[in-house]
Chains A and B, each alone.
Chain A
Amino acid sequence: MTIVASLARATLLEAVRNRLVWLAVVVVVIAFGLAQFLNQVAITESREIQTALLAAPLRVAAVFIVAVFVITSMVRESSDKVTELLLSLPAPRSAYFFGKFAGYAMLASILALLSALPLVPFANSQGLVFWTLSLICELLIVTAMSLFCVVSFAQVVPAFAAVAGFYLLSRSMAAMQIIASAPLQDPTLTDRVVNTVVNLIALLLPALDAMTQTTWLLQSAPSVSILGAVVGQTALYLVLICSAALFDLYRKNF
């Protein structure tokens, strides 16, 4: 347990010393400035425009920062042979994995809170709380997926491409399912095969499209049951991805 806590602390320290928090602050300030500018342009619904155009880029930026940091940090650690050094400690590989994951998860939570900060003047408070919790869940899934991909591929480009593909696909899967199930003509065999494949892929992806909705900030907050579903999906997917990453980590030769 001490090793897990130490690794988590070291990972968080690495993020701080990499000035990652400062980067997040700069992104937040730029997004806030952009939203203010667009507010001047808007004729009506200025609060809604500010909120929407602030929330969406901040969410994407947070996802991008988390994924890139997790991947580059792990690859650098591996290149510097620090991974081998840490794995030589008298602790199971799972301790190493969960230590790193805990550190990255803390960073993801800090980023989510920073992203929510500029929305305070515009969004309704309950909706903002739900949005922030949902963003933490989303970032935790991205963190776990980034760890899984970097453990499997051990290279920056393939790992990041896989995470980006996973994120975009998860976000748009519901729309793809609707499109696949709605041919304008009678469905052919090819249509049915494509539809089945799309549905099978959807089974393996988390429902990211239901998470961190901008409408929660603009209109009334979602019900607690929706937040419960988001948290449940996150917990379940973390179990799946973390166990898959552990499987790869245990089998890996260093």
Chain B
Amino acid sequence: MSQRSIAVVPRGVLVLFALGLAAQIGLKATAPPPRAAAEDLAPAPSIAALRLASFGDPVPLGKALMLYLQAFDYQSGSKVPYRDLDYGRLEGWLARILELDPRGQYPLLAASRLYAEVPVEAKQRSMLEFVYRQFLLDPNRRWPWLAHATAIAKHRLHDLTLALRYARAIERYAVADDVPLWARQMEIFILEDMNELETARLIIGGYLQSGRVKDPAELRFLDERLKELEARTAGKTPQKN
């Protein structure tokens, strides 16, 4: 259907439209940009309520909630963007998102690489424990985040006992073929730092004898690592004497 010419539109309507458009743009342009406030993070809803809200398709809701949560996390211009968050509530949200989308890695990436790196030790520890607990539910898929948590415990918290606990959990529970060598060896590295070289040597020996290692490159690597550790242990023994 052809339209009539613009000339038939009364001038008042055109002026009104132009003024309305300019005023709307002006109003929105001068309004302060929306910002998420850390204290505004509400407690996570129950998993039953979220499943109801997902209308039988929980994964998209989980993804959307992660983005929603991220909006609370990242506050532009703040040097410590996550420090002000209520970590109890934050854990609740992350746990709910993982329940909705168990194969999703985003919540654990955020937990281990973002929330666990705030300059508040108590919050770091609570987030590392969260990662550990979630790792235990699906070790073969979630080990990378616990591996990173191990590194944080070792290098940031300087808590070698904690790092060792995480490293042992990876070695013990992450048994899938695609778990790489370096992750399985984290326990050895941690023990090495604790001057427990002899223990590390025994663990590597046991690891090799267990028959779990099938990859020739991995076998060679471990063998070389074991020889290196033995040499260092032998080098240390005379010094002690």
Whether A associates with B in a native complex is yes
Q: Number of B interface residues, CB 8 Å?
A: 36
Q: How far is the CA of A182 from the CA of B70 in the complex (A)?
A: 8
* Contact in complex: B70, A184 (CB < 8 Å): yes
Contact of B17 with A243 in the complex, beta carbons under 8 Å: yes
For A182, the chain B residues whose CB sits under 8 A away are: 36, 70-71, 73-76
Which chain A residues lie closer than 8 Å to B5 at the CB level?
A: 251
Q: Tell me whether A240 is interfacial, beta carbon within 8 Å.
A: yes
Q: Which of B7-15, B156-164, B201-209, B225-233 contacts A (4 or more CB under 8 A)?
A: B7-15
Is the beta-carbon distance between B3 and A251 smaller than 8 angstroms? yes
Q: Which residue of A lies closest to B106 (CB)?
A: A184
Interface residue? B23 (CB, 8 A):
yes
Is A204 part of the binding interface, using a Cβ–Cβ cutoff of 8 Å? yes
Secondary structure at the A interface, as helix, strand, loop or mixed, is helix
Residue A124 is within 8 A (CB to CB) of chain B in the complex = no
Stretch at the interface among A7-15, A83-91, A132-140, A173-181: A173-181
A239-B19 in contact (CB<8A):
yes
Say whether A73 faces chain B, with CB atoms less than 8 Å apart: no
Total number of residue pairs linking A and B with CB closer than 8 Å: 95
Tell yes or no: A155 within 8 A of B by CB.
Answer: no
Dominant SS among interface residues on chain B: helix
Which of chain A's residues 203-254 have a Cβ closer than 8 Å to chain B?
203-207, 232-233, 236-237, 239-244, 246-247, 250-253
Query: How far apart are the CA atoms of A181 and B68 in the complex, in Å?
Result: 13
Given A175-B68, A251-B9, are A243 and B16 neighbors across the interface (CB < 8 Å)?
Answer: yes
Q: A94 within 8 Å of B by Cβ?
A: yes
Q: Is B176 located at the chain interface by the 8 A CB criterion?
A: no
Asked whether any CB of chain A lies closer than 8 Å to the CB of B114, the reply is yes
Complex Cα distance, B25 from A206, in Å, reads 10
Q: Which residues 158-181 of A sit at the B interface, judged by CB distance below 8 A? A: 174-175, 177-179, 181
Query: 5 tightest A-B contacts by CB?
Result: A240-B20, A243-B17, A182-B74, A174-B34, A239-B20
| Interface residues in chain B, defined as those with a beta carbon under 8 Å from any beta carbon in chain A | 1-6, 8-10, 13-14, 16-17, 19-21, 23-25, 27-29, 31, 33-36, 67-68, 70-71, 73-76, 114
